[in-house]
Structure 1
């Protein structure tokens, strides 16, 4: 079954102000993640060229790539959830009636919300521990609590987006 994806970002008639605000925040997070990835690509190119031509790579380029990519990837997740573009495996449920599939989708979004908020909680606890113990990366000594601090808001936002999707999928919002 082929689904058409709507990549337009305008406010649809059935969306309220809260949904629109949530969409704008998630777009901001995704754009921030994209900028981080563009910076990482530029740094990687400089490092590769420096390594090959001048025997001078960017020091700690792999650490920067790991830290930056983790923050960027977390920033993309809320938009994927809010737009309903996460990968969905419906091979086992394709034969079920539409009402049951809709209910299962709603349950999946609620579970995604719970998991996102549990991850946000546990990541914030890890951030506090890393700050207290002074954990840092090996080469550049980047304090590990900093990227964790940047990931937590993305996880909280992911939970909010999953809750909004559950609300939408289960038809609890009605139409205005």
Structure 2
């Protein structure tokens, strides 16, 4: 990708994806600290932390959904390029466009479903079993992370089609 494309992409998305990735990193550190403290308290002080599993599960949702746009923007997802030598430039270009288009479709469905679930959970006051933590904000984080990922995939399709080069 040329310098202009990289700068345009970074101006549009870098701040949003970096902010979400920073929050995801804080969730990861918080989860690690919480699990370490919970294990120490359970086995050495015989005083388990109630609801630690709920917190870890909700933190995991937040962590993954907020880190996904950052990974997508930097093309850091796991890829298998087994067929690349056999399909050539145009095959790789078509594969890049097709995989992103399929991802946009699937993730768009997930955005709509998580948005609807967020509204339902908020309306009915859905909460976790032990700590009664509201779960609608986590559906909102899912919708936000997925929607930003869809936008990134759409921009990547445009960049691939304009440049005529597949992503590396």
Q: What range is the shorter-chain TM-score in?
A: 0.7 to 0.9
Of residues 140, 160, 164 in structure 2, which corresponds to 1:169? 160
Larger displacement relative to structure 2 (164-173 or 129-138): 164-173
Of 106, 115, 133, the residue aligned with 1:142 is 133
Aligned ranges 1:26-41 → 2 under 5 Å: 26-41=17-32
Compute the displacement of 1:73 (Å): 0.5
Matched, 1:69 2:64: no
For residues 32-81 of structure 1, give each alpha carbon's deviation from its aligned partner in whole angstroms, at most 9, with x where no partner exists. 10101101111111111111121112210010000011111111111111
Native 8 Å contact 1:167 1:173 kept in 2:
no
Query: Unaligned stretches of 5+ in structure 2?
Result: none
Deviates more, 1:16-25 or 1:157-166: 16-25
In the alignment, which of 81, 92, 102 is matched to residue 111 of structure 1?
A: 102
Q: Which residue of 2 aligns with 1:4?
A: none
Match in the other structure for 1:55? 46
Q: TM-score scaled by structure 2? A: 0.88
Would you say how many aligned residue pairs link Structure 1 and Structure 2? 164
Give the deviation of 1:169 after TM superposition: 2.0
Tell me by how many angstroms 1:16 deviates.
4.0
Is the Cα contact below 8 Å between 1:82 and 1:164 reproduced in 2?
no
Structure 2 distance, partners of 1:110, 1:16, is 23
Quote the Cα distance in structure 2 between the aligned partners of 1:111 and 1:151: 19
In 2, Cα distance between equivalents of 1:84 and 1:149: 24
| Distance apart, 1:85 and its partner CA | 1.5
Gaps of 5+ in 1: 1-10
Counterpart residue number, 1:159: 150
Q: Which is richer in helix?
A: 2
Runs of 4+ off more than 4 Å: none
Aligned equivalents of 1:23, 1:60: Cα separation in 2: 35
Deviation, structure 1 residue 173: 9.3
Alpha-carbon distance in structure 2 between the residues aligned to 1:140 and 1:173: 52
Quote the residue 1:20 is aligned against. Answer: 11
Could you state the TM-score of these two structures normalised by the residue count of structure 1? Answer: 0.84
